[in-house]
Structure 1
Amino acid sequence: MASTPENPKTGTPAGTTRIVAGETAKPRGRRTLEIGLAVGLVLLIGAGAAIASAVSRNNESQPAAAPSAAAELKLGYFGNVTHAPALVGVSKGIIAKNLGDTKLSTQVFNAGPAAIEALNAGAIDATYIGPNPAINSFVKSQGESVSIIAGAASGGAQLVVKPQIATPADLKGKVLASPQLGGTQDVALRAWLGHQGFKTSTDGSGDVNINPTENAQSLKLFQDGKLDGAWLPEPWASRLVLDAGAKVLVDEKELWEKGEFTTTILIVNKKFAAEHPETVKALLKGHAESVNWLNSAPAAEKASEINAALKDTAGKPLAANIIERSLQNITFTIDPLAGTYKKLLQDGVDAGTTKQADIGGIFDLRALNEVSGKKTSAAGLGQD
């Protein structure tokens, strides 16, 4: 089986530059874990508290400028199959082509909270991301930080566990992983455990211990017997199943009406969007073209292109059976499924990673609908 190394190599497609970010040393002892989790929680809360003031200062310190095309668009995404619209959009040059004279640079992340931090700091202008970090940023900035401008993928997240774990009750006292504290899979795991009657804490304590861990490290820890399971996006759920002998305890689609839930969306910094609406529209044209390609390409060609892009971001391709299983679980769509966001918000509240709030205005789908020629609904939570 092919494996993905822990020290990713980068590739640079024509017309783009890439910076790989988010690689950190992993904790090796319980004390280190507790400190890391505590620091992560402080950063999550502290960053949220700082977002509103940072965004406000950034907006107030700059004079209003006439909208114009940006000289550069800095785009974030993850090396996951659920981010295939970004992977093929970058590797095939689709996004760069639509941006025209605007330079495209890219940055690869492991999970959403780190991408949000970069977006609010101005290190990137737009990013593919899971919905919960976007909701959290919007709430903590009082609606000033980000806009959701499109969907990208639905499905493709599972709780995979050791074979001997037969029921949710068997998870008591076990150690599970998620990609990052406050990320979409982290929130889904904590909310689901709460519905099973388990108490969890963002410091890692509780009836079930949750250890936010970088995806590649979760695979290794599971193989070494140091994890009992993990709630992961594709291809990592498939890697634990096919490479490490895990089994699926929960397929997240079972928890949603019609089996539809958002895994990946496209968001933009509000200030950038206000200053460069034509650049945002060009990005959306490239994004929609990438999604259309994924939905029309022959299965073998699609798998090959995604795998080549993953090799470019991670250093090695995945095994064919992992790509195949991953793609079976994912639907690529420009629809962000806005009707699911009130539940996503409540899941974040239940998980202890966000607070109850009004998320009206989180969507701005006007440019998407103009580009696509279709009416994608904001479900009353913004403009469409």
Structure 2
Amino acid sequence: MSVSRKYRFASAAVAVLSTAAVLAGCSRAEENTGAPAADQGPAAEVRLGYFPNVTHAPAIIGVENRYFADELGSTTLTTQTFNSGTEEVNALLGGSLDIAFIGSGPAINAFTKSEGTIQLIGGAVSSGAQLVVKPEITSKEQLSGKTIATPSLGNTQDVALKKWLHNENLTGSVNVANMDNPQTFDAFRGGEVDGGWLPEPWSSRLVQDAGAHVLLDEKDLWPDGKFPTTVIIVRTAFLQEHPETVKAVLNGSLKATDWAAANPAEAKTAVNTGIKNLTGSELGGPVLDRAFANIQLSPDPNSSTFPQLAQDSVTAGVVGSADDLKGFIDLRPLNELLAEQGKPAVDAGGLQKN
């Protein structure tokens, strides 16, 4: 079920408190002294969160093709969709969500604010974010005095934009507006913003449907063009109490990823159908094709990038200091599944939970 308007307003109301918690900082996972929870077998219900975005394609396909439901068996799957990582983190911290497909920035924030009791357990999508602007803006210097939108304060794209502005000596000369992606689309067409640093399919929507052009593709800023756009996180207590349920969700995501690689045209259709079911509107063919061309579905969360991403939040002015991410990642359930399927293990980049 899609998260209600009432819920979104409530989440927005607590966002200020959540941001304050990020700034304060917290202790790390290994500093928690409580004994691990005992395995209680499969959960009666698992509550899964994700976005109605192309960058959450494995989640959408997993729901549409019933990969999650089939893997979960008798466990009830309850889904919620979100428009910002802040809302989704609040749901996890409030105990109303168990597992979430989420951006890399909010994933770090969730780990920090939870005092290390939320872990990253897998990847979903890499790449798929661009700075798109009005046609007359052809250089970074022309951004001075302009307004550029990002999905929400402190989210993955917000941090990426602010870090880039800092590196280009443009901090303070460019106005950054935080708004939901559909609002950015309307604001761009209405002339209220001059562009946006946006995830797919919204960068493609601005290009194909609103006349924007790409000033910068974020993949050009990363080695091999890979950076984590969407990852999978879980409440640690839920993982400890219901490890087989967590593995079932991970396996559903793996099946969705493998199916999409083998059936690219059908995968686009499944994602478009899922987005229409969730939002009431579907993407045009050119937008869908362009969006899928800009992303890579993979269970690898590109773990080695996370220390840099944590430092980027400092550079961007979102947090005061970079957090110690030791214990942030626990890829043991994922790597157990990959081993069973004869696939290579995914590296945790030295951030594995002990």
After TM superposition, is the score higher than 0.5?
yes
- RMSD of aligned alpha carbons: 2.4
> Which segments of 5 or more consecutive residues in structure 1 lack a partner in the other structure?
1-17, 27-36, 200-205
From 206, 229, 253, the counterpart of 1:240: 206
Are 1:193 and 2:193 counterparts? no
Q: Measure, in 2, the Cα distance between the counterparts of 1:69 and 1:24.
A: 28
Q: Does residue 82 of structure 1 match 2:55?
A: yes
Q: For 1:102 and 1:44, locate their aligned partners in 2 and report how far apart those are by CA, in whole Å.
A: 31
Question: What is the rounded CA distance, in whole Å, between the counterparts of 1:143 and 1:254 in structure 2?
Answer: 31
State the AA in 2 paired with 1:212: N
Contact 1:360–1:382 (8 Å) recurs in 2: yes
The answer to whether the 8 A contact 1:21-1:107 is kept is no
Q: Give the drift of 1:302.
A: 1.8
1:250 partner SS: strand
Cα deviations across residues 46-94 of structure 1 (Å, max 9, x unaligned)? 35479969x9xxx98x995543211100000001001000001001111
Counterpart Cα distance in 2 of 1:208 and 1:324: 31
CA distance in structure 2 between the partners assigned to 1:340 and 1:51 by the alignment: 20
- Quick check: 2:154–2:318 contact (8 Å CA) kept in 1? yes
Alignment partners' CA distance in 2, 1:19 and 1:50: 32
Contact kept, 8 Å, 2:2 with 2:82, in 1: the verdict is no
Residue 25 of structure 2 contacts residue 323 of structure 2 at CA under 8 Å; is this kept in 1? Answer: no
1:322/1:189 Cα in 2 relative to 1: closer, same or farther (>3 Å)? same
Structure 1 CA distance for aligned equivalents of residues 218 and 353 of structure 2: 28
Q: Indicate yes or no: 2:130 matched with 1:158.
A: yes
Q: Residue deviations 1:75-133, cap 9 Å, x none?
A: 00001001000001001111111011110010000121111111110111010001111
Is 1:98 the counterpart of 2:67? The answer is no
Q: Distance in 2 between matches of 1:124 and 1:66?
A: 19
Q: Tell me the number of residue pairs that the alignment of Structure 1 and Structure 2 aligns.
A: 343
1:300 maps to which residue? 265
Code of the residue aligned with 2:203 in structure 1: it is A
- Number of the residue aligned with 1:19: 2
2:155 matched residue in structure 1? 183
Measured in 2, the distance between the counterparts of 1:335 and 1:87 equals 18
Specify whether residues 351 and 130 from structure 1 end up closer, same or farther in structure 2 by C-alpha distance, changes over 3 A only.
same
Identity across matched positions, percent = 45
Secondary structure of 1:249's aligned partner: strand
Q: Is the counterpart of residue 139 in structure 1 residue 101 in structure 2?
A: no
Q: Which residues in structure 2 correspond to 1:247-262 (within 5 Å)? A: 247-262=213-228
Matched, 1:326 2:299: no
Once residues 352 and 175 of structure 2 are traced to their aligned partners in structure 1, the CA distance between those partners, rounded to angstroms, is 37
Q: 1:320 to 1:281 in 2, by over 3 A?
A: same
Residue type matched to 2:3 in 1? V
Q: If the length of structure 1 is used for normalisation, what is the TM-score?
A: 0.84
Deviation string, structure 1 residues 261-301 (Cα, Å, up to 9, x no partner): 1110011011111111111111111111111111111x321
Residue type of the alignment partner of 1:250:
L
CA distance in 1, matches of 2:8, 2:96: 22
- Quick check: 1:210 aligned with 2:176? yes
- Distance in 2 of aligned mates of 1:213 and 1:133: 16
Structure-2 separation of matches of 1:382 and 1:221: 42
Q: Is the 8 A contact 2:129 2:198 kept in 1?
A: yes
Larger deviation, residues 283-292 vs 350-359? 350-359
Q: 1:21 to 1:343 in 2, by over 3 A?
A: farther
Q: Which residue of 2 aligns with 1:379?
A: 349
**Cα distance per residue 1:217-274 (max 9 Å; x no partner):** 1000000000011000000000000110001011000000011111100110111111
- In the TM superposition, what is the alpha-carbon distance from 1:383 to its structure 2 partner? 4.5
Structure 1: distance between partners of 2:190 and 2:300: 39
Contact in 2 for aligned 1:160/1:231 (Cα 8 Å)? yes
**Compared with structure 1, are the counterparts of its residues 127 and 25 closer, same or farther at alpha carbon in structure 2 (3 Å cutoff)?**
closer
Counterpart check, 1:362 vs 2:338:
no
Contact 1:176-1:230 within 8 A present in 2 as well: yes
CA deviations over 1:159-217 (Å, ceiling 9, x no partner): 10011111111111111110011110111111111111022xxxxxx321111100001
Q: Distance in 1 between matches of 2:231 and 2:5?
A: 19
* Structure 2 unmatched ranges of 5 or more: none
- Contact kept, 8 Å, 1:76 with 1:107, in 2: the verdict is yes
Q: Distance in 1 between matches of 2:125 and 2:61?
A: 13
Q: Aligned residue for 1:109?
A: 82
Provide closer, same or farther for how the CA distance between residues 51 and 192 of structure 1 changes in structure 2, counting only shifts above 3 A: closer
Deviation at 1:343, TM superposition (A): 1.1
Q: In the alignment, is the contact (CA less than 8 A) between 2:99 and 2:235 conserved in 1?
A: yes
Amino acid at match of 2:135: P
Displacement after TM superposition at 1:40 (Å): 8.1
2:242 and 2:105 map into 1 onto residues whose CA distance is: 25
Residue 124 in 1 paired to residue 97 in 2?
yes
Q: Distance in 1 between matches of 2:21 and 2:4?
A: 18
